[in-house]
A and B are shown apart, each in its own frame.
Chain A
């Protein structure tokens, strides 16, 4: 079976190296032939190998599960590896690095640094004073509660919710939807002994649960379809009574 010649597409990428003397932000256009099932992972890899070996971007799993490749595609933040070129009828894709994170170079931003700081701030781990004896039976968990915890644990910290967030633009220290979701996740986990008061200490201010303006672009763009709207509203109701 032969493959028909694909259409010509134009990928326009922002290039800028803040660490190189004389580098200024500019868009560079790359024209290439579309192949069947082509994603931005395939297209950008091809660009680097054949047109511009200096173009920086981040991919790891290329399967939509590691959260490395968030970037702004035609104005909307998305996972590049899951972005199919065929979904763009005019074949033009304009790529920019995600806002809200420190720019490393071109399309690469430092989400890791931000996420670690967020994790420390909201104490994104199980807090429990009991030492588990791992030679003994595990404690039982209601299957529904385990499923509910898992649903919220599906976040991959890609940063797309943060890049979509209006509050983050106004409040640089806002923990973001990702941070609030983390708290919601531990709040439901029976292994975690923290009380509402403990969570209030972590996020009971305008950089936390009371900062969210409910614009909900986070939920619109979340690649894992997490129930951010409901969970943020739930946490706010729960914590506002402690104010």
Chain B
């Protein structure tokens, strides 16, 4: 048995994992980052539109601060998020973006003088002050009070990923790609690393570490129609689940993005609408103002996606061989703007659909339809990023339910979370590794390796007549049809039952090639059962949650039910022989919230079953705020009184802004 010892093991080499790796390495730890693919190919690169951070540099973002970013994030989450974590996040985001600037991310900068912009389909002139020129620029995104999304054209994730990956190379983080974790090594409720399969040689090896951090991204590929890269299969969450000890949080909270292009599902960034693009129906009519008079195309993603489907159901979709769709019109922004700020969008339209979106009129409209986009759920952690039940296991980024997104994430907050969580959790993770020793025996490690070795041989020996690719496709279609944007009890129950059957069928397949090396079907054969377990957590969590909150929308329970459902779903798999997950709940404490539950400001009104404590806590918050304001306390002091939070390093310090008095 080959054992690789290290101090800190990071599984997943996207933005979150790499940034956490840098944090650990900088604290003097021998750090290894494992990745399925060369790290610069991670799905982080697909983040197009930008990263939210309340810098407040440009005209349309002037006056922005942590408080506004916090309020937008909490409303966006439909009050499902952990408010302490949201505070930690918004306070660190400006530092993250400034750190990245220093690492060479070429943020688009404020340009002095006047420029034309399209706001609410009208040409508007915006004039930037001379003293702000050269600072980091921001654009508009859905669900935000200010223009807060910082960007590098529409390739923001790409430049951030290269910046952080290069910094990791500079700091000599040991990055090993084409390595797939297949199980976590754990004993007495503590995690000690992972059993890892080399995807080139097929060899199994053990990575033993003082602490392990999972940053493997989301589980979008359990759905058929998704913007996610093909590697986003939720395997990290599945490995945590399979320990029987760690829990997953809010797995039913799945976001559907309004504007992937039809039929390929490739994302056209929210920046399209943020920059002024609009949605049109079969008649060319701009319909969003009819549903959302205030926020229009820039309500939160869950709301816009549902309104689009609602409009299609009202017979206003555009028919096509791939079903009905909606048009996205960015031609009104003008060719110059598109060719500078939305170039990748233009390329995607040209290459995959033969459309130039800069062409005026209908010729430039792109067919779009809401599709799976983001996983709010993931490995449930504390604010430090550590699993609440499996010590020494940390998670950050989309793989985690750290929980700053609750039941809906705002555009620009995910790529921001990756680096912010990489900084915050990366440092707590490093501290854990500094304070703990490896105390596991090699015989135990051998046992974990042998289990996986036996499992692979078992799979190759299956002699059934099922086909793993068909099982996977069926799962994906089922998730789209019954666990999608609109859900109901009957469909969800059917989904749970059929997913359970599919899970059983994965042992009745027949893998054609018996090679242990370079055998793609074998890889599917051990991944799909894990994906099915994740899918079961999503479907069963959705079936049990009899309310609508954020992206989880039940047509048989239309209201957000704070009285009964202001809680977080926890799924676990304590017995390996179970065929569905165990579901439990964790209440959210209104009396410690800085912002008690209320109306989001968009979406349908009068759709909340209120919790009795919401009003009480709001009165407390108002009283404290008024009193402290009268005493001349500033917003930081008041915030601290309402809901204190901690951060590592110097991240708790105030953020300087150009608008500071």
Contact = CB atoms under 8 A, between A and B. Distances in A.
The answer to whether A and B assemble together is yes
Interface of A: 1-3, 17, 19-20, 36-37, 39, 48-50, 53-56, 58-68, 82, 84, 104-106, 110-113, 115-116, 119-120, 123-126, 128, 132, 134-143, 146-147, 149-150, 153-154, 156-157, 186, 189, 191-192
Given A1-B320, A143-B133, A56 B169 contact: no
A234 to B, nearest CB: 18
Contacts of A39: 264, 352
Given A104-B518, A149-B106, A141 B134 contact: yes
Contacts of B175: 116
Given A65-B46, A68-B37, A3 B321 contact: yes
B619 to A, nearest CB: 35
A60 B41 contact: yes
A64 B353 CA distance: 14
A143 B110 contact: yes
A192 B104 CA distance: 8
Contacts of A63: 46, 264, 266-267, 348
The 10 A-B pairs of least Cβ separation, nearest first, read A112-B38, A140-B134, A53-B521, A132-B102, A149-B106, A125-B166, A125-B170, A134-B95, A49-B469, A150-B106
B451 interface: no
A171 to B, nearest CB: 23
A146 B110 CA distance: 10
Given A65-B158, A146-B109, A37 B41 contact: no
21 contacts: A17-B517, A20-B515, A37-B353, A48-B520, A53-B520, A53-B521, A56-B520, A61-B41, A63-B267, A82-B352, A110-B178, A113-B177, A125-B104, A126-B102, A126-B103, A126-B166, A138-B136, A153-B158, A156-B45, A191-B103, A191-B104
Nearest to A182: B166
A142 B134 contact: yes
Contacts, number: 217
Contacts of B267: 63
A20 B513 CA distance: 12
Contacts of B177: 112-113
Given A63-B348, A136-B656, A143-B110, A17 B518 contact: yes
Interface of B: 37-43, 45-46, 55, 95-99, 101-104, 106-111, 133-137, 152-153, 155, 158-159, 162, 166-167, 169-170, 175, 177-178, 200-202, 229-231, 263-264, 266-267, 319-321, 344, 347-348, 351-353, 469, 473, 511-513, 515, 517-521, 524, 650, 653-658
Contacts of A59: 230
Contacts of A139: 101
Given A37-B352, A135-B95, A135-B653, A186 B104 contact: yes
Given A104-B200, A128-B102, A135 B656 contact: yes
Given A53-B521, A124-B169, A135-B650, A150 B159 contact: yes
Contacts of A64: 347-348, 351
A54 B521 contact: yes
B152 A60 contact: no
B377 to A, nearest CB: 22
B158 to A, nearest CB: 6
A136 to B, nearest CB: 5
A183 to B, nearest CB: 13
Given A125-B170, A135-B656, A153 B37 contact: no
A56 B518 contact: yes
Nearest to B521: A53
A54 B655 CA distance: 54
Contact of B518 (A19, A67, A142): A19
B45 A65 contact: yes
A119 B41 contact: no
A37 B264 contact: yes
> For the complex, would chain B's binding face be called helix, strand, loop or mixed by DSSP majority?
loop
A58 B37 CA distance: 9
A126 B351 CA distance: 34
A70 to B, nearest CB: 11
A188 to B, nearest CB: 9
Contacts of B159: 150, 153
Contacts of B38: 68, 111-112, 115-116, 157
B102 A60 contact: no
A113 B169 CA distance: 12
A123 B104 CA distance: 13
Given A112-B178, A115-B40, A150-B152, A191 B517 contact: no
Given A63-B267, A65-B155, A189 B106 contact: yes
Nearest to B352: A37
A126 B518 contact: no
Given A54-B512, A68-B41, A125-B167, A143 B108 contact: yes
Contacts of B201: 19
Contacts of A2: 321
B41 A191 contact: no
A25 B348 CA distance: 35
Q: Which of A37, A125, A136 has the most CB of B within 10 A?
A: A125
A22 B157 CA distance: 43
A36 B102 CA distance: 45
A154 B40 CA distance: 12
Contacts of B657: 137
A20 B515 CA distance: 8
Contacts of B39: 112
Nearest to A158: B41
A1 B108 contact: no
Contacts of B348: 63-64
B654 A1 contact: no
Contacts of A143: 108-111, 133-134, 137
A105 B518 contact: yes
Contacts of A37: 263-264, 352-353
Contacts of A132: 98-99, 101-102
A153 to B, nearest CB: 5
Contacts of B351: 64, 82, 84
B103 A54 contact: no
B580 to A, nearest CB: 27
Contacts of A192: 104
Contact of A191 (B102, B169, B320, B524): B102
Given A56-B518, A61-B229, A116-B175, A125 B656 contact: no
Contact of B41 (A48, A66, A123, A142): A66
Nearest to A111: B38
B513 A53 contact: yes
A194 to B, nearest CB: 12
Contacts of B231: 60
Q: Which of A49, A124, A132, A134 has the most CB of B within 10 A?
A: A134
